[in-house]
Amino acid sequence: MGTRWAPKAGASGPSGNNGTISGAVECSRCGHVGEPVGKGQCSECKCWLPGNSAAVTHGLRRYEETGILPPDVVEYLIAFKGEVTADLGGEGELSAIQRGLVGSLAELEAARLLLLDFALRQGVETKRGREALAHHGATVDRWARVAKLLGLKREPKPTQNLADYLAQRQVEADQQEAPK
């Protein structure tokens, strides 16, 4: 089962070009038909075409538009989800609800990372930086609530008793010795 934040194989956004406009389009201002330049401008009059990506400045907004996270964030989230799953005893020990909560926690982690990065790049003294930091704080609160539902204590993986382990080893040895 895939995740909502991992890109599909070969996907690069709705237009096939990482969220930028591709293909010939007609400019509503000058009527020119052609390939957009830059982040979605008319090559003749330089006006912004619908669907341009010039205002897309932080990863959360780009994710809303394209459904694709930056590769380094995807890599981190896969590792994060694996670590949380391991802390809860492993994939086989999770209920369906716990698996859903682990997925939600990973999604909140993505939002938290992107919002904090944006706030720091904007500067926390700017209006946009303060707004992003406020959203980051709300995301951290939700993250903590989901983490609390999952449990903050690490759960050890269940172990077999010695008799079961020896019986399993004997079955495996018998299977290897049996002629094929």
179 pLDDT band (50/70/90 cuts)? low
| Amino acid 20: pLDDT | 44
Domain chopping of the chain, boundaries: 19-55, 70-150
Average pLDDT over residues 161-169: 88
DSSP-assigned letter for residue 6: S
CA 127, distance to chain mean position in Å, is 26
pLDDT top residue among 101 and 151: 101
Which among 102, 77, 109 is positioned nearest to 155, based on CA atoms? Answer: 102
Q: How many distinct helices (H) and strands (E) make up the chain?
A: 5, 2
pLDDT top residue among 158 and 86: 86
Q: Tell me the per-residue pLDDT of 55-112, one tens digit each, with 9 for 90 and over.
A: 555 556 667 777 778 788 889 999 999 999 998 988 888 899 999 999 999 999 999 9
Q: Can you tell me the distance from the alpha carbon of 62 to that of 166, in angstroms, rounded to the nearest whole number?
A: 54
| Amino acid 60: pLDDT | 64
pLDDT top residue among 150 and 23: 150
Number of CB atoms found within 10 A of residue 40's CB: 22
DSSP E strands, 32-122: 33-34
State the pTM of this model: 0.58
